[in-house]
Amino acid sequence: MPGGCAQYFAAIRPEYHALMNQLKVGLLGGGSWGTTVASLVARNAPAVLWARDPATVAEINARHTNAKYLPGAKLHENLRASADIAEASAEVDVVVVGVPSQGFRGALGAIRAHIRPWVPVISLSKGLEAGSGKRMTEIIAEVLPGHPAGVLTGPNLAREVMSGFAAASVIAMEDQTINRALQQLFSSGLFRVYTNDDVIGCELGGVLKNVIAIAVGMGDGQGAGDNTRAALICRGLAEITRLGVAMGGKPATFAGLAGVGDLVATCTSAQSRNRHVGVELGKGRHIDEIIAGMFMVAEGVKSAPVVMELAQRHDVDMPLVREVFDVVQGRSNARRAFRGLLRIAAGAESEAG
């Protein structure tokens, strides 16, 4: 860890609350979760949010709302928005990236000429890069070498957080001095943030649960009961844990907020985009039709092929993910996938299948 960055955060840690307003935070991405995090952070420090849409920027600055993504929600009055990505990345102390995985590398490339050295970069994205299979923190290290990389993840439904419901999240970084300082930056009211040093496990938990949520949604769309849903969630968690550990994550991480916590929220909430995709697939709709009717990204659709490649590379059997992959690729349908899962022989609970 470069000494300047670690020393800076270590120095402010003892009086962090008093000196919080000395930090400047830039946030990239004007979607539902990016805007929510920006509003939370604005309670603790000066924050500027970059959004592509000039109309969204004007609305946030004039009315403190983002009606397209967070209808009815009021954003913190200290939050500013800008259509200039340089303004949100130059002269800031922390950069938070809330763009979908397919636009993540491009966003980092756009700020490379503006961001100051050693500024931490925190990902909000729960996806993998198509083609490379890389996690977002790996992309940060590649595009912005020398910048401490981390991830904020957990069972966080944007509309509930904006409505003031109690929620918990986890921030994961390798350097725990910086991690503990940023924990305070993101904590706000009933939004409680825990720390973790397992970056790999936390990132993968957020990615893999999206694919399992599609599987659970396919069951719900076909009228499956609570017992079926619980079984799919549990077997899905087993698949997530097997692959996560094979890729370097810690088993305990998948029993925490970034694992089972995020999985339960995404598999059971009507607000979950990935579950919605599964439900519609279960009703017999084609994946292309479903995606065409959505204006927000369902990361699980994009991640399924990448997760299958990783499972094969690490020799991990993932029956649920495999069935989801076949359906979103148009090779199967939800009814056939469900019958396929029921035909899998049951072994010991600790085994695959």
Place of tokens 């990615």: 207
Task: Tell me, yes or no, if 74 is annotated catalytic.
Answer: no
Nearest to 185 by CA among 47, 1, 78, 6: 47
How high is the pLDDT of residue 300? 85
Q: Are 137 and 203 in contact (CB under 8 A)?
A: yes
User: pTM of this prediction?
Assistant: 0.90
Beta strand 167-173 with 149-153: parallel, antiparallel or unpaired? antiparallel
How high is the pLDDT of residue 298? 82
Q: Are 120 and 182 in contact (CB under 8 A)?
A: yes
Beta-sheet strands, E only, within 19-87: 25-28, 47-50, 79-82
pLDDT by residue for the chain (353 residues), tens digit each? 444 555 555 554 444 444 455 789 999 999 999 999 999 999 999 999 999 999 999 999 999 999 999 999 999 999 999 999 999 999 999 999 999 999 999 999 999 999 999 999 999 999 999 999 999 999 999 999 999 999 999 999 999 999 999 999 999 999 999 999 999 999 998 999 999 999 999 999 999 999 999 999 999 999 999 999 999 999 999 999 999 999 999 999 999 999 999 999 999 999 999 999 999 999 999 998 999 998 787 888 999 999 999 999 999 999 999 999 999 998 999 888 877 776 664 555 566 55
**Residue of 126, 134, 209, 302 marked active site:** 209
Question: What is the rounded distance in angstroms from the CA atom of residue 209 to the CA atom of residue 236?
Answer: 8
Question: What is the rounded distance in angstroms from the CA atom of residue 232 to the CA atom of residue 164?
Answer: 30
User: Rg for the chain (alpha carbons), in Å?
Assistant: 20
Nearest to 9 by CA among 171, 173, 177: 177
CA geometry: angle 204, 210, 215, nearest 5 deg: 130
Domains in the chain, CATH or no CATH each: 3-197 (3.40.50.720), 201-342 (1.10.1040.10)
How high is the pLDDT of residue 5? 59
